Structure formats: C-alpha cells, structure tokens
Chains A and B, each alone.
Chain A
Amino acid sequence: MTRIEVIVPGTAASEVRRLIEHSGATGYTAISGVSGLGHNGYHQGGLLFNEQDTLALLITVIPDHRADALIAGLRPLLENASGVMFVTDTYVSRPDYFT
C-alpha cells in the first residue's frame, strides 16, 4: 500500500480531492485549518470565518498499482501552486478497505 499526503492551500483542496476520487482510491481524510511554515512564509491555521485561506491536509492510502497515476496527477498541481506531497510505503490493518 502507498500512503500519499498532500498539503495545499484550502482553495486547491478540491482539485486534490477530485484527483484522489478519480484515481480509484476508496477514500481519503481531509483536515482543514492546517498551519505551518514553508517557502511562502508562515501560514496561519484555523481562521475563524474563513476556511479557504488556510492550508488543508489530505491523506489517502491506495494500492501500489494505482499510486503512480495519482502521483503523476498531483505533480502538475504542485508545480503550479504552493504545496507539498509525501509518499510513503505503508501497512494497513484492513487492506480490503483500500482496494
């Protein structure tokens, strides 16, 4: 299994979500209001009345044979906007949930 974590501006989260959905992944976890420091400076998380201008973290786990396509899709998104992607091998307790 491959775990892919992507941190992008809240406005780009829907692009990542759609890509994950079309990759054949069976689900994902999204966390909004993420804060941190990056090349574009510090990002404040958890703005009170604005969910769009904070960072979002999306996590998905997919079978290895589908991972390359998803990674290939995420690259152009990240080349054209701020954001980071982490790819790791992973183990899950119920593999059938993810295939």
Chain B
Amino acid sequence: MTVTVDTVTVDQSAVSRAQLRAEISVAARVLTPVWPLSSFIAVNPLGGLEHRRFDAALTIASDLYGARGTLGEAEFRAAHTTGRITTADLSEALERRFPDAVTAAPVEIGGRAHTAVDILLADLVHGSIPSPHARRLLTLSERFCARTAAAIDAQTVKWCSAYLDLCQASWVLPGRDRGFYRAWADLAPRDPRLPAAARRALRHLPPDPAEAVSQALAVLGVGSGGERIAYLRAHLTRLPGWASHILWRSNTPGAGIDLVDYLAVRLSYEAQLLDTTQLPAPTAPVPARPSDTATHRARRAAQALGTIDLDAAAEASISGILERMPVDSRPLVWLDAYETHYRRGLLEELDHPAPAPTRARADAQLVLCIDPRSEGLRRHLEALGDYDTFGFAGFFAVASRIHALANGDPTIAAPALVTPHIDLYEQPDPTAPAAAQRHIAGLHTLAATTDAVHTAKADLAAPFALAEILGWASGPVAAAKTIAPRRYRRWRTRTRARIAPPARTVIDTAGALGLDQRVQIAETALTVMGLTRGFARLVVFCGHGANTENNPLHSALACGACGGNPGGPNARAAVDILNDTEVRGKLLSRGIDIPDDSWFVAAEHDTTSDHVTILDRHRVPDTHRPDLDRLTSDLAEAGRRLAAERSPLLPGAPDRPSPHAAARHAQTRSADWAQVYPEWGLAGNAAFIIGPRTMSAGIDLRRRCFLHSYNPDDDPTATALETILTAPVIVAQWINCQYYFSTVAPDTFGAGTKTTHNVVGGIGVLTGPAGDLRTGLPWQSVAVGDRLVHEPMRLLVLAYAPHQRIDTILARNPKLRDLVDNHWITLLARTGPSSPWHHRTRSGWTLYPTNGAQP
C-alpha cells in the first residue's frame, strides 16, 4: 500500500477568521435568542446560563448586565412585614440553605441566649443593604469615555433598525441585499455625524467582517483567547436586546446578518472613535460592590436583638455565624422563604381535592391548553355540569405552518422547541365554495384598501390629499374608539362582514398529511394527555388567543405552545384528524376505541374577554347539536363567572360585578385602544402540575398553575411523562423565567412601560426613540405602579409519577437534569393521591416537609 502525503498550504488568515467566529459564538452563549413581535416567544433571558447553579448564574448576570436576580431585600422585608413571608418561612429556608450555620451554639447577647437562627434572622431583617448591582464586564469605551460608548450604541441602533426592519419602513436601506456588513461599510464612511478621520478610516474596511473585528481588536489592544472572548462578550451584552435578536435572526435563512457583522460594526466604531493612545491596561479589574464589614454586621444584628453593648467574644461568635451566610446570599434566602410560603399553601390545598365523580359518562370532555388562564375556565365549567377537562399543550400535537384562506405568509403554529414540517391549508368548505370565494374577494379588497392608505401616508405628497379625503372621518372614528370601544368594534366587525361575508372553511388535514401521519398525531395527542378511553359524546379541543387593540406585544398574550399565535387553527386541525373514520379505524387497532357517537369539536378561548367561540360549528352533526348548545351555554356562563373573578384584579375594573357586568366590562376592555391592562396574561404563574385532574379538582388554584393531564397507569414506558417533562415543562419554565426576570429586573430584562413604547421595524419595541431593543414583558404585564401583581418565584413542578420513572428520564436528558440540579425548577413527586411529596435533589429524593407529612 502506498501512502502519498500532499503538501497542503494552510491559509492562516482563514484559520484566524474561523477561530474568531467560534470565539464570538462562545461569547454569545450567554445570550438567549429573542423572536420578533409577531411571534413573541417567552424565553429565559438567562437561558445561556442554565448549565450553572441558579445563584451562580445570577452572579454572572450581575457582572454582565448589572441586573439583580431577585427582588430587592427592601421588597422582601416589606413582604415580611405584611406576612407574605413569615418568620417560619425564613427559618425553614435558613435550615435548608445553611444547615451548619443554624446548628451553631447560641450566643448570649444582653443577658439573653440567642440561637444562630435568631442572629441570622436579625441580619436578614435589619442588616445594611449593599449598594445596587453594577455591570462589571465593560467595554473600553464604557470604562474610559462614556460619550464614545453612547455614540457607538447610537450608531449600532441606527444601522440595526434600518437593516432589520420587517417592512415597517417605506424606504429600504440602500444595499440591503448585500447583507448588513457590506451595506453598512458602503454607507458609514459618508455619515456626516462622524469625525472626518473616522470616515476616512472606515473607507478602508476589509471585505470580511471577521477581519474587521480582528483589526479593531488589535487597535484596541485586546489579547487573545479568554481575554478576547470576554471582551467580545462585553460588547454583546452592552445592548443585549439587539444582540439577542440578531442571534435569533442569524438562524433564519438569508438573514444577511449575524453577530460577527454586528460586532464588526461596533468594534470598528470603537477603534476609530476611542482615543486608544491614552488607555490604561484593559485588564484592570473593576471594583467589587462595597458591603459592610463583619464587625458592623455583627453589631447591627446585636442591636436588632436588643443590645448595643457587645463584648468581643460575643461579637466574634456572631460574626462567625454570620460569615456562613454571605451578604450576597441573603436575597436567595429571602427568595427561598418567599417560595416556601406559597408552596406550603399549595401542597396543603392539593391534599384536599374534590371527590372523583362516579357517573358513567361525562356530558362532554374539554381539552384546554396547559396555560394557567385555562385553569379558571376549567374550574368554573366543571362546577356547571358533568364535564371532564384535560390539559395539554395548546398546539394539540399539530406542529404546523398554517396557511390562511386568503393566503399571505403562513403562521408558525408550533412550540419554539420544534421546527414545523407540516403545511396545513385553510380551504373552502366543499358544501359552500361560492361563499368562500366572496369571502376571499372581500379580504383582498380590505387588504388593498389598507395598503393604499399606508402607501399614501408614506408618499411625499399624498398625505395632504389623504387628509382631505379621509380626514373628516378620522375625528369621529377616533372619538368612537375612545368613548364606546365595544360598540365601535361591533360596528367595525359588521362592516368587515359586509365586505367579506363570513364563509365556511375547513383546515384540510387529509389533503396535506398521509393516513399514517394523521394517526401518529392522533395517537400521540390522546396518549400524552391520557384520554384513551371513556370518550364523551362531545370532545372539545379548545385553543386560546387574546383579542386586544393597539398592543404591539399582543402575541405575548396568545398561546405559547403555538408560537405566540392563537391556538384555534391547531384545534381545528386536530379535530379534523380525530373525526376521520379511517384514523379512528387505525386507532382502534392500537387500542384506542373512540365510540361512533363521539364527536370532536374545535373552540377558542379569548383570554381577554373569557368568551369561548365554537369553531366550525357547521361540521357538527345534527345529532350532537343539543349537546353542543348546552355546552355552549355553560361555556358562556363559565366565561362570565371567570370574568367576574378576574375583575377585581384589573386596574379600573369593577370590584364586585355581576357575571354579566364583568363580561361586558371585559369585552369593552379588550376593544379599548387606550387600555394598557387588557388582561394579566400569565402573571402569577408559579407551579406546573402533572397528573390526573382528580389531583386538583375543586381547588381554586387562582390561575397560577400550568395543568398537564397525565395518568401514570397509562404510561408504563414513561414516554408520555418524558414528553411532558422535556417539552411543556421547558416552555413553562421559559415563561416562568420571563415573568420572573421582567419583574425583578425590569430595566434590563423587561420591556419598560408601555406608555413610552416605540415599535421599531416590526421586530420589537424601544423605550423612547433609541436605545436597546426591549426584551421581556412590559411593566404593565407584571405590576400596577409600584405594586407587583406577579410574584416572582421559580417554577415548582409537581408530578404524580413513580420516582424511578422520573430518575430514568432525568438520566437521559441532561438539559432537564440541569434545570433540576441547578435549582432553576423545583421538582416534587408523589406516587399516589395521598402519599407524601418527595423532593428531587442532586443527591436523590428526600421527603418534602408539609403539614401533612413531617420528615
């Protein structure tokens, strides 16, 4: 055998560029992709740090963003004052977090012996609060010239806004088709806002953005390896909203922009605008946060315990106890206690569910999204009749791209964890094709009119003519929208219906999917939700959406399992599959026997008004009309009762309205274009319950729990449980973290107040005219003024399942294991309806103390 070794010339510049690109990827791992407004997907802003312990991740986040990771100690102390956190909660948290410290010998202070817990509590409640967090990983311009840092940000925002625009602007950035970096490199040297020397230098940018980054780093004196990654990360976290959105965009085909381009722009500006000849060494450390000395801390605790005369021995003993609880860990103790308080109450309630019904067959079964808002509807409906309800991710296992009847871009109707590979088309109902054609023609007329108005508004001369033609109508329309929003919406709906009369349509699954695919979807959905026998005559799949006005973040209120879109189309597709006799035949051969008299119906719950609309009513056979009419009536009543329940919590809503008055108010609110609190979304979410409805039936969970149906007896292979733990729980944890961080660090991870929002490029919002792209939720989604509505707590996951089964799943899913082991979620399980709860920790299962089962 002959081996010939060729001489291969290695292109060193290509090697350097590839290494730099990889280092930028590594630097960007602290970021989480941020979706555009049209599909506002909840994300954990610290998702890139989930492989770290929660407390360590918060420290890193503090260094990166200057953001705190919990409520402030002052807020926790206020909660202690009001009883939201009790001393017992704090003691329990201390024992859990610092078992060594709490067992230290008592200390005599002022003639009385005080336990270690007393001393630690005194420090928690009365200790000095350290200065606010500040970002410590800084760019050179941040450290040495704030004006230059601001100029770099302003330039970055300007060019990113222009390039990333999703058809909001009328003028397209020149050279956009050549990609972000090339378009910028062509135009930036002509920017009159730059000094002449900088403009001259920018004319000689290299063609490759990675080269530009290398050159700029060399000018700035940044070294290689870890130092370079840290510096790139400092730039990426300076405007994390823009960087995170570009990270998302870089994964879409033909984006023409990625983080290398982004950094090439930022660093090239910094290299040209910062006077690098005057800079000290770039690695000089940034000072840490100042905090109290041990002596001061001990004296303050002693003072809180009733003495100011502290001898040296006592002071040393107190300091010894307190040093086991570092000042920086105190907020975590408070958080633990805050969570403990809620969790204890929830677990006690779950020990007393309503008895399981003994009837032979339910009047109807409803499958709703796991979303906590569905819990309220389920509870009220169950109280009205013999109804069984189930919880399942609202896309109903139909992860798809849905093409509406009048075409346009398809809607991604799938969880963010899945790339949909199914295209479904809304089609005219075969029994009424002419009506569908009229509907489509009307929609096209409406779209053309809207386009014409927008085009006229953007034209240089046309706005004057437009004002002459339409201006007379604008005033009355604006007045009607303001004074009588519900009536205005009704008028608008009627007008639209006259132009585009409603038509019967179907989401045709048989035309798009083969029989095996449809059977697979049906079987998956039914087995994962545990609905494999005992089917009622009516089985309703109810998606959800939110109807609001003038709300750029409206998709944050729609279904998270449907990519921030309403779940109605997914429900329509699912029932189309399940009503198919061929599908049912195949299901029967797999052990799922759906009786001939069971009919599946699609519906959609508007979470803003709590009105449930039955979809495709025309497809329901006459034999089932009476059942459907009764259910519709009960759904309406359940919706009214739910609206009345929610009303006292909504700013400006009646405190104790009748159900009818509450429903009217909710509809008005939903139609009001000036309303910044259309509903509370998932504010308050705190727990995820996996188990049969009998676990929680009859309990008012106050719309704070995700509810996923699960029956361990039907899942011997643990496939369904694994699906639930690795998908819906992950999405719920993202949602939980989004609410959590939007509440504790609204300036960094929230979207700010709605009242100053500017929509930019259709991709996100800014506060005012410039600055970072705001991620997370607006303040009006989590608070009213200074009063928090959302209680920021990490997600509690409660599973009704054997421990061994959960262990097996954790062992083969490292990502899930990270969330549990690193305290991003708390996982408790019980193996029977009355068995005690056990806590899954890094070292295994331990009994979780509740009043019903003390360790």
A positions within 8 Å CB-CB of B: 9, 14-15, 18-19, 22-24, 35, 40-44, 47-53, 64-66, 68-70, 72-77, 80-82
Contact = CB atoms under 8 A, between A and B. Distances in A.
Contact of B19 (A42, A51, A72): A72
Contacts of A22: 17-18, 21, 210
Given A53-B730, A69-B15, A73-B22, 14 more contacts: A18-B258, A19-B21, A19-B25, A23-B14, A48-B524, A49-B727, A50-B730, A51-B417, A65-B10, A65-B11, A68-B14, A73-B18, A74-B18, A77-B25
Interface of B: 6, 8-11, 14-15, 17-19, 21-23, 25-26, 29, 210, 250-251, 258, 393, 397, 399, 415, 417-419, 524, 528, 719, 722-723, 726-728, 730, 811-817
A68 B15 contact: yes
7 cross-chain pairs, A with B, having the tightest CB-CB distances, nearest first: A73-B18, A49-B727, A69-B14, A44-B812, A76-B22, A53-B815, A15-B25
Nearest to B210: A22
Contacts of B817: 41
A22 B817 CA distance: 34
A97 to B, nearest CB: 20
A65 B6 CA distance: 10
Contacts of A70: 18
B18 A81 contact: no
A41 B813 CA distance: 9
Contacts of B29: 80-81
A65 B8 contact: yes
11 contacts: A18-B258, A19-B21, A44-B722, A47-B726, A47-B727, A49-B393, A49-B397, A65-B11, A68-B15, A69-B15, A77-B25
B14 A47 contact: no
Contact of A15 (B17, B22, B730): B22
B419 A76 contact: no
A72 B250 contact: no
Contacts of A72: 15, 18-19
A95 to B, nearest CB: 14
Nearest to A66: B14
B8 to A, nearest CB: 5
Contacts of B812: 35, 41-44
B630 to A, nearest CB: 34
A57 to B, nearest CB: 16
Contacts of A51: 417-419
Contact of A77 (B15, B22, B730): B22
Contacts of B21: 18-19, 22, 73
A69 B11 contact: yes
A69 B8 CA distance: 12
Nearest to A75: B22
Given A41-B811, A47-B726, A18 B524 contact: no
Contact of B417 (A40, A52, A75, A82): A52
A49 to B, nearest CB: 4
A49 B723 contact: yes
Contacts of B19: 72-73, 75-76
A81 B22 CA distance: 12
A52 B26 CA distance: 18
A50 B728 CA distance: 9
A14 B9 CA distance: 28
B220 to A, nearest CB: 20
Given A18-B21, A41-B811, A47 B723 contact: yes
B814 A43 contact: yes
Contact of B23 (A23, A35, A76, A81): A76
Contacts of A42: 811-812
